């Protein structure tokens, strides 16, 4: 087992206090948006000198003087030992998942992730045309898809997938009524959106409205400004107060951006701590505010649709979006016969385990189908395997090679309070 050092991404939307407060360390003084725990080549974790007699040899031969080695490099030394033969056979010689601690103090970009087929084709196309990997117009950073899930640690606000066209139409109908009540001139865009959303085929209705907004230019920017100003002035918002308040918030940060009104086509969700949702390919979404544990396939492929100064490739975005209205894909935990609390989205690359340990209680087996990573967010946890032990304090994390299973998590004897950790492994045995 290897304790890890992880990369903190300082994106501007990140909280300055949430991640440091969770992990019990001093704040950096700047935004702390994402802590990456995994082997993605853009920001791989660093594996420290191994714990236990079973994790020696090759690591020691290639690590630096401090016993440090990138987790991607460590795995490459012996993929089957570290990942397991089943994982290598299905996903190749790379860790198939990435764990993040995510802290949004302001909204992330409106975005969607491609299917595996789209990612492979898009990556190959951009490689063939010579688009630089760091070029602003690059869409595909790798050839993998990026299904993901988010587990809320605090109240967590988000936009997630399309609502039914009839419900989106009801929101815009309310705007019409509010403008009439206030004696205001209604932007010409709104009746056009109502026509789009009234089409009998729901896929067509949602796609027409989305396309009108994403490609609307000045007409969309002007309508957004008028609607936001009317809402600020006190136009009635019930019964869609959360949705229309979101318009005001988003427009304050991204004035006139198409994503502001696109938000009214999407499900506006509030997760309580302990709740989770999963996001398949094609799901248009944006995290708005909150702290959570995010898990995804090991990819950085994002097609943006607004709420960002970054590049937006509208044609490619439209090829990627799924214009299907669906309920919010909430994910309930499953408790196994071994007492494991598992969140299992319908993806083979990952599942999330929440581990809660009371002092004096028995151990909890770490669910492990191949490799696993684990992070402790409260208390102290002792990991033991047939090949050694590793104690992790609050804020510490570790990589558990497939060859070291089974691993049990124990509350540290004499430690006060409840210990809480999160572990990720593949869902190959699910």
**Measured between alpha carbons, how far is 32 from 10 in angstroms, rounded to an integer?**
5
Average per-residue pLDDT for the chain: 93
**pLDDT score of 237:** 66
Q: What is the model's pTM?
A: 0.94
Domain boundaries, the chain: 7-159+271-320, 166-264, 334-425
Q: If pLDDT is split at 50, 70 and 90, which confidence band does 233 have?
A: confident
Q: Where are the beta strands (DSSP E) in 52-96?
A: 69-70
Question: Looking at the predicted structure, is the pLDDT value of residue 150 above 60?
Answer: yes
> pLDDT digits over 341-397, tens only?
999 999 999 999 999 998 878 899 999 999 999 999 999 999 999 999 999 999 999
Q: For the chain, give the percent of residues with pLDDT over 70.
A: 94
The two tokens of residue 72 are: 């991607």
**Measured between alpha carbons, how far is 299 from 97 in angstroms, rounded to an integer?**
8
**pLDDT score of 61:** 60
**Measured between alpha carbons, how far is 54 from 250 in angstroms, rounded to an integer?**
52
Say if strands 156-162 and 34-37 run parallel, antiparallel, or are unpaired: unpaired
The set of residues, in sequence order, having a beta carbon less than 8 Å from that of 257 and lying 6+ positions away, is: 221, 224, 250, 251, 306, 307
What CATH superfamily is the domain 334-425?
A: Jelly Rolls (2.60.120.10)
Closest C-alpha to 46, from 100, 102, 7, 8 = 7
Contact 267, 174 (CB under 8 A): no
Q: How many CA atoms lie less than 13 Å away from 16 in the CB half-sphere?
A: 2
What is residue 55's DSSP assignment? S
- Which CATH architecture does the domain made up of 7-159+271-320 adopt? Sandwich (2.60)
Q: Please check whether the two domains, 7-159+271-320 and 334-425, share a CATH topology.
A: yes
Neighbouring-strand partners of residue 303: 112
Contact 189, 225 (CB under 8 A): no
**pLDDT score of 178:** 87
- The catalytic residues are 304
Is the link from the previous residue into 113 a cis peptide, with omega within 30 of 0?
no
Q: If pLDDT is split at 50, 70 and 90, which confidence band does 68 have?
A: confident
Residue 388 or residue 326, greater confidence:
388
Contact 389, 312 (CB under 8 A): no
Task: Lowest mean pLDDT of 40-49, 150-159, 202-211, name the range.
Answer: 40-49
**pLDDT score of 54:** 45
**pLDDT score of 338:** 87
The set of residues, in sequence order, having a beta carbon less than 8 Å from that of 315 and lying 6+ positions away, is: none
> pLDDT digits over 99-108, tens only?
999 999 999 9
Question: Looking at the predicted structure, is the pLDDT value of residue 428 above 70?
Answer: yes
């Amino acid at each position: 087992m290897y304790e890890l050092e992880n990369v903190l991404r300082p994106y501007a939307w990140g909280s300055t206090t949430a991640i440091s407060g969770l992990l019990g360390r001093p704040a950096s003084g700047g935004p702390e948006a994402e802590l990456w725990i995994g082997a993605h080549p853009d920001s791989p974790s660093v594996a420290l000198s191994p714990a236990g007699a079973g994790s020696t040899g090759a690591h020691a031969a290639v690590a630096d003087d401090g016993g440090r080695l990138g987790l991607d490099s460590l795995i490459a030394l012996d993929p089957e030992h570290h990942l397991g033969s089943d994982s290598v056979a299905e996903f190749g010689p790379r860790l198939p998942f990435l764990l993040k601690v995510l802290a949004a103090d302001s909204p992330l970009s409106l975005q969607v992730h491609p299917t595996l087929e789209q990612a492979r084709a898009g990556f190959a196309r951009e490689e063939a045309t010579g688009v630089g990997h760091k070029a602003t117009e690059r869409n595909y950073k790798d050839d993998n898809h990026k299904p993901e899930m988010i587990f809320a640690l605090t109240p967590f606000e988000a936009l997630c997938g399309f609502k039914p066209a009839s419900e989106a139409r009801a929101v815009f109908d309310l705007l019409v009524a509010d403008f009439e009540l206030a004696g205001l001139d209604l932007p010409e865009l709104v009746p056009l959106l109502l026509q789009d959303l009234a089409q009998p085929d729901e896929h067509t209705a949602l796609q027409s409205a989305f396309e009108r907004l994403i490609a609307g230019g000045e007409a969309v920017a002007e309508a957004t400004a008028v609607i936001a100003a009317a809402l600020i002035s006190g136009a009635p918002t019930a019964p869609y107060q959360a949705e229309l308040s979101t318009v005001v918030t988003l427009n304050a940060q991204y004035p006139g951006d198409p994503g502001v009104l696109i938000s009214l086509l999407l499900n506006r969700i509030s997760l309580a701590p302990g709740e989770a949702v999963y996001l398949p390919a094609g799901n248009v979404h944006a995290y708005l505010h909150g702290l959570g544990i995010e898990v995804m396939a090991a990819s950085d492929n994002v097609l943006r649709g607004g709420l960002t100064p970054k590049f937006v490739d509208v044609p490619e975005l439209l090829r990627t979006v799924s214009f299907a209205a669906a309920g919010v894909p909430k994910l309930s935990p499953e408790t196994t016969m071994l007492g494991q609390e598992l969140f299992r989205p319908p993806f083979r690359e990952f599942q999330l385990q929440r581990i809660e340990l009371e002092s004096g209680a028995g151990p909890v087996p770490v669910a492990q189908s191949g490799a696993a990573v684990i992070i402790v967010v409260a208390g102290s946890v002792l990991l033991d395997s047939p090949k050694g032990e590793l104690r992790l304090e609050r804020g510490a994390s570790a990589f558990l090679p497939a060859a070291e299973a089974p691993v049990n998590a124990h509350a540290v004897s004499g430690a006060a309070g409840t210990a809480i950790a999160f572990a990720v492994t593949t869902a190959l045995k699910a």
